[in-house]
Amino acid sequence: MFAYVIRRILIMIPTLIAISAITFVIIQLPPGDYLSTLIAELQSQGENVDTAKIDALRAQYGLDRPMIEQYLVWAWGLLNGDFGFSFEYQLPVADVVGDRLFLTLVLNFTTIIFIWAVSFPIGIYSATHQYRWGDYGLTFIGFIGLATPNFLLALVLLYFANVWFGTSIGGLMDPIYIDQPWSIDKALSVLEHLWVPVVVIGTSGTAGMIRRLRANMLDELQKQYVVTARAKGLSPLKTLVKYPLRTALNPFIADIGNMLPQVVSGSAIVSMVLSLPTTGPMLIAALQSQDMYLAGSFLIFLALLTVVGMFLSDLALAWLDPRIRLGGGANR
């Protein structure tokens, strides 16, 4: 087990390096930098631009140095918890971001829990009641959930909440708590508002999970040992829970790897529509104004979220399934 963890961590390091490099290249892609945007803006307002001052600024932010050097400085800063400087807000990125990262984490984590909690009973029910009405109905709902893009769902929900209840379901807490320090009341308010985005983001993931769990359970239920157990008179519940369910559970954990990027993507755009104080809205603003370090930090954070999530899911899987733990990596 220990060797497996070490090997898994060693694999993660080059991945993280590559991710940071790709992120850096992407945020450097747009022609020009924030300062040239700023100059253009100032000139369009008819203001004089002091070239000496601009050069000084450029030197201060290291924008005049070669690309590779800029990257190394940036990556070193990341390792030390320094995310760089947000040009637009004139503040260190860490200060601008505030608790957005934390809220994003909470949102995504809750969504995963929601997906599990909902798809688990439904998947088992669908598998044990194959081709009954309940199965058909749930499968159909699942298909709709899979096909409806979640930002459209958010839009529709927002509309109906406005029409029926006259309230806005946007936001992640009551307005009075915004920019307030954390307190129990604030946390409760967040919990109160959390369910809407969680349901919206979770629908497609839940639908996919139900389909996979159902397929897995069906495979297991047809195997000989189930027939034997039944023939020997094991109670139906025990026949279900003790053996087939445990084997069918693997993808539950293993699928986090597929699910996480999807959930993170979904939360980014849903939080735009519902104007949640998470990374999504700020990421878009930063991308549009070429606030490169801010955008880069968000991208890195979101990628990190998925990589670490996959790592944890691999660990959990190894812990659950001796086949992976013992043969670990031999057939990779």
Partner 1 sequence: MSSARRGPVPHYVNKAPFDPNVTEVLTPEQERYYMATQWQLMWWKLRRHRLAVISGAVLAFMYFSVVISELLAPYALSTRNTDFIYAPPQGINLFHDGEFVSPFVYGLDYELNMETLKREYTPNPDKVQPIRFFCFGDEYKFWGAFDGSFHIFCPAEGGTLFLLGTDRLGRDILSRIVYGTRVSLTVGLFGIIISFVIGIVVGGLAGYYGGWIDNLTQRIIEIIRSFPELPLWMALSAALPVTWSPILVYFGITLILGMLDWTGLARAVRSKLLSLREEDFALAAQLMGAKPKRIIGRHLLPSFMSHLIASATLSIPSMILGETALSFLGLGLRPPITSWGVLLTEAQNINAVELYPWIMAPVVPVIIVVLAFNFFGDGLRDAADPYR
Footprint of partner 1 on this chain (CB under 8 A)? 14-15, 18-19, 22, 26-27, 29-31, 143-144, 146-149, 151-152, 155-156, 158-159, 162-163, 168, 170, 260-262, 264-266, 268-269, 272-273, 283-284, 287-288, 295, 298-299, 302-303, 305-307, 310
What is the C-alpha to C-alpha distance for residues 310 and 131, in angstroms, rounded to an integer?
A: 34
What is the C-alpha to C-alpha distance for residues 312 and 108, in angstroms, rounded to an integer?
A: 15
What is the C-alpha to C-alpha distance for residues 268 and 282, in angstroms, rounded to an integer?
A: 10
Cα Rg of the chain, angstroms: 25
Q: Tell me whether residue 59 or residue 144 sits nearer to partner 1 (CB atom).
A: 144
What is the C-alpha to C-alpha distance for residues 94 and 91, in angstroms, rounded to an integer?
A: 8
- How far are the Cα atoms of 16, 64, 193 from residue 5, in angstroms, in the given order? 16, 42, 37
What is the C-alpha to C-alpha distance for residues 1 and 325, in angstroms, rounded to an integer?
A: 6
Q: Tell me whether residue 232 or residue 332 sits nearer to partner 1 (CB atom).
A: 332
CB of 155 to partner 1, least distance (A): 6
Q: Tell me whether residue 198 or residue 269 sits nearer to partner 1 (CB atom).
A: 269
- How far are the Cα atoms of 77, 109, 186 from residue 174, in angstroms, in the given order? 35, 21, 8
Q: Tell me whether residue 205 or residue 244 sits nearer to partner 1 (CB atom).
A: 205
With CA atoms as reference, report the closest residue to 25 among 59, 60, 67.
67
Beta bridge partners of residue 91, listed in sequence order: 86
CB of 11 to partner 1, least distance (A): 9
* Contact assessment for residue 250 and residue 288, using Cβ atoms and an 8 Å cutoff: no
CB of 106 to partner 1, least distance (A): 17
Q: Tell me whether residue 162 or residue 235 sits nearer to partner 1 (CB atom).
A: 162
What is the C-alpha to C-alpha distance for residues 281 and 275, in angstroms, rounded to an integer?
A: 7
* Contact assessment for residue 254 and residue 133, using Cβ atoms and an 8 Å cutoff: no
Q: Tell me whether residue 106 or residue 240 sits nearer to partner 1 (CB atom).
A: 106
Helix ranges (H only) for 129-241 are: 133-147, 150-164, 184-221, 224-231, 236-241
CB of 297 to partner 1, least distance (A): 12
Q: Tell me whether residue 173 or residue 302 sits nearer to partner 1 (CB atom).
A: 302
Q: Tell me whether residue 239 or residue 291 sits nearer to partner 1 (CB atom).
A: 291
Per 3-state DSSP, the chain is made up of helix, strand and coil in percentages (nearest 5) of 75, 0, 25
